[in-house]
Amino acid sequence: MPRLVVLTGFLGAGKTTTMLTAGRLLTARGGRVAVITNDQGSDLVDTRLARDAVADVGEVTDGCFCCRFEELADLVTELLDSGRADTILAEAVGSCTDLQATVIRPLRAHYGDRLALAPLTTVVDPARLDALDGDLGYLFDRQLAEADLVAVNKCDTLPRADLDALLDRIRRDHPDAGVLGYSASRGDNLDALVTRWAGPPGRAAEVDLDVDYDRYAAAEARLGWLNQVWQVSADTGFSARRWAHVALDSLSAACARRGDVIGHAKLAVQSPAGLVRMSVVAAGDPPRHEPAGPDGPPVTHATVLVNVRATCPPEDLESLVRAAAYEADLAAGAAGRPGPARAFAPSYPRPVHRLPAAPA
C-alpha cells in the first residue's frame, strides 16, 4: 500500500533537506517517490530544489495543507490513481500546527485503506529548542506536542554528550512520542528515520491537541513572508555565487541589528555555472551554501529565487531585501532587477476540516 509521510516543524528545521535526502535514499532502493511542497506563498525555493532531486513533484501554494486540504487531496488522489508513487513525502508549512486534526485524520478518513499514513514527524533544529518565546514559542510547543515522532535534525552540530542529554530531555517532556536524532545533510541515522516511517502512528494520533487558535494566529502574524525572483546580469561577467552570498549575508546582518528572528531565508541561484542553494536560519549567521565550494566561473546572467520568513513587517522585509541586493550589486559588479514581490503576513488559520480523535 502506498504510504504518505507528513513532515512538520518550525521554519529552518531542515524539513526540505530531510525530505529530499530521504527521497534519494528511497529511490536508490528502488522506491517510487513523490514529493509535495507547501507554502503560504508561491515561487518556492523548495519546489525548485525538489525537482532536481526526485522525478515527481507537486506543490500546494497560497496556504497551508489544512486550509488547502482539497488541493492536497487532489495531488494525492492523482498519484494513487496513476500508481506513480509508493511513498509520498509532504512537507507542511513551518508555521503550522494542529495537523493531526486538520490533515492526518481527514486524509485517513478520505482514503481509508488506499493509503497508509506514516507517524506525523516533527523535525527539530536543536538550536531552536529554547530560542523561541511568546506566541512563537507556543506554536513550536504545539508542533512538538502533536508529534508521533520527534526527529532531531543537525545532530552533527552537537557533542555526543550534549546530544544524548537533549534527546533524553525531549523523551521526558514528550513521553508518548518516539524520539530520534539524525543529520539530513550528512545522512547520519537517516536509515533509522525512514524505517520509523514504516511503523504505526503513536498515541498523539489518538488524542485531541489543545490549541488556542488566537495564539496560533498571533504567532503566524508575527512573521513576514517574502517570495521574489531577481534577475542579475553584467555584460562583462560576475560571480553569481558571490552576488547571492553577499545579498543573504547582508540580509542576515540587517535582521540581527533590528532584533528580528529569521525563520528561514533561502536563495536558489540558477546560472550557467549551475544551481546553488543558500540558506540562513538565524539572524546574524553567515549563509550556508549547498553545494559548498568556491566561486564558479563568471556568468553574464543569473536568476535568484528569494524566500524569506522573519519577524519583520512585510513592507520592511521588502525594503531589507532591496538593500541587500544593492550591497550584492556593488560587491559583484552586477545589476539586479527585482520581479514583483509577494510580501505579506499569514492570515488567520481556518482549516477546511478539523476532526476529533476517535473515542477511546
Which residue is it, cell 490549541? Answer: 211
| Under 8 Å between Cβ of 227 and 41 | yes
In the chain, pLDDT over 70 holds for what percent of residues?
A: 100
Interatomic CA distance for residues 4 and 251, integer angstroms: 36
Interatomic CA distance for residues 326 and 334, integer angstroms: 9
Residue 75 dihedral angles phi and psi, to the nearest 5°: -65, -45
Interatomic CA distance for residues 344 and 59, integer angstroms: 19
What is the arithmetic mean of pLDDT over 305-318? 96
In this predicted structure, the answer to whether residue 193 has a pLDDT above a threshold of 70 is yes
In this predicted structure, the answer to whether residue 43 has a pLDDT above a threshold of 80 is no
| Under 8 Å between Cβ of 120 and 204 | yes
pLDDT band at 271 (very low <50, low <70, confident <90, very high): very high
In the chain, pLDDT over 90 holds for what percent of residues?
A: 91
| Per-residue pLDDT, 360 | 65
| Per-residue pLDDT, 241 | 95
| Per-residue pLDDT, 358 | 86
Which tens digit of pLDDT belongs to each residue from 339-348? 999 999 999 9
Q: Is the dihedral of CA 237, 238, 240, 241 positive or negative?
A: positive
| Per-residue pLDDT, 52 | 82
Nearest Cα neighbor of 252 from 226, 286, 292 is: 286
State the CATH architecture for 3-219.
3-Layer(aba) Sandwich (3.40)
Mean pLDDT, rounded, of the chain: 95
| Under 8 Å between Cβ of 317 and 243 | no
What is the arithmetic mean of pLDDT over 173-182? 96
Q: What percent of the residues of the chain are helix, what percent strand, and what percent coil, each to the nearest 5? A: 40, 25, 35
Interatomic CA distance for residues 218 and 139, integer angstroms: 9
| Per-residue pLDDT, 340 | 95
| Per-residue pLDDT, 44 | 84
The string of DSSP codes covering 170-197 is HHHH-TTSEEEE--TTT-TTHHHHHHHH
For the chain, what's the residue count? 360
pLDDT band at 190 (very low <50, low <70, confident <90, very high): very high
The three-class DSSP label of residue 247 is helix
Domain ranges within the chain, ordered by starting residue: 3-219, 224-344
Chain centre to alpha carbon of residue 1:
27
Nearest Cα neighbor of 178 from 160, 156, 158, 195 is: 195
Which tens digit of pLDDT belongs to each residue from 105-130? 999 999 999 999 999 999 999 999 99
CATH classification code of 224-344: 3.30.70
Which residues, 6+ apart, have CB-to-CB distance to 28 below 8 Å?
Answer: none
Ordered alpha helix ranges (H), the chain: 15-28, 45-53, 69-82, 99, 105-111, 134-145, 160-173, 190-197, 213-221, 240-258, 314-332
| Per-residue pLDDT, 51 | 87
Cell numbers found for residue 25 = 535514499
| Per-residue pLDDT, 41 | 79
Instruction: Give me the long-range contacts of 109-114 (CB less than 8 A, separation at least 24).
Output: 109/355, 110/73, 111/76, 111/80, 113/1, 114/1, 114/2, 114/80
In this predicted structure, the answer to whether residue 279 has a pLDDT above a threshold of 70 is yes
State the CB neighbour count (10 A cutoff) for residue 340.
9
In this predicted structure, the answer to whether residue 162 has a pLDDT above a threshold of 90 is yes
The string of DSSP codes covering 310-327 is ESS-HHHHHHHHHHHHHH
pTM: 0.95
